[in-house]
Amino acid sequence: MATQASASPMPPGVTDPNYKPPPGRLGNLTVPQQHALEELKKKLKEEDIFVPERMDDATLLRFLRARKFDVEKAKAMIVSCEQWRKEFGVDEIWKNFDFKEKEAVDKYYPQYYHKTDKEGRPLYIERLGLLDIKALYAITTQERQLQRLVYEYEKFLRERLPACSRAVGHPVETSCTILDLANVSLSNFYRVKDYVMAAASIGQDRYPETMGRFFIINAPWAFSTVWTFIKPWLDEATVAKIDILGSNYKDKLLAQIPAENLPKEFGGTCQCPGGCSLSDAGPWNPSVPQ
């Protein structure tokens, strides 16, 4: 059976001869999806909302996919996002934010990008189990933590994804996340739940369709209670990308992530000088040995 031709051409810069765009992406759009893209762009321009440097076709398609190609809902999501960007000061954060406390924060709440998975996606690791609330908020604030999160999302879109795309020869639009819950306590989680919920909301509403895979490892028996609390905040598509694993997680991670890219503490072989959490190793940082 012949494959139906896409209504949109392949995105520029593809050098991987085996690349087949997933549905709803450039190079694999149905006629209605292509029309929705054109209509969304037209409406944004007519209402003077369109920002060329930030609203390329791939970005508009992320918002369309997040709203099942409903043009009005996708437009409302973009309008809300633009308003949030002004209120939160995103452009100012990108230009001037300096997280001087990064090395100290890493001791009490490690959150970092590190190399890539087998599909070329940036690997993002967060170790909630190491969280020490008292020590953390003695050196930073929830506001600065959220500013750092937004700065990292902007860097993810502006630098990390383009570098990963060049490295594999096709568009990379999502990340692969490991959330480590080893030794996490419910009391600690509830003390940081406002930050976690705010972070989840920013990711889902302001940077939609950027989650590729999400591994929750070392999930304790009490996690079912926490998961019940978090799940309603997430849409069905997001929940479907999440794997909840106990302590027997290594084979699952290594099926998705090359051993040389996975930090040793998670069953890989990577041991960056000075620690993987502060190395910022990846295609976006050619000065660091890969």
pLDDT in tens, 160-208: 999 999 999 999 999 999 999 898 877 777 777 888 889 989 998 999 9
Q: What is the pLDDT of residues 120-140, one digit of tens each?
A: 999 999 998 888 888 999 999
CA distance 248 to 16: 34
CA distance 101 to 201: 24
CA distance 124 to 202: 16
State what percent of residues in the chain have pLDDT above 70.
98
Whole-structure pTM value: 0.92
Per residue, the 3-state secondary structure of 184-207, as one string, reads CCHHHHHHHHHHHHHHHHHHHHHC
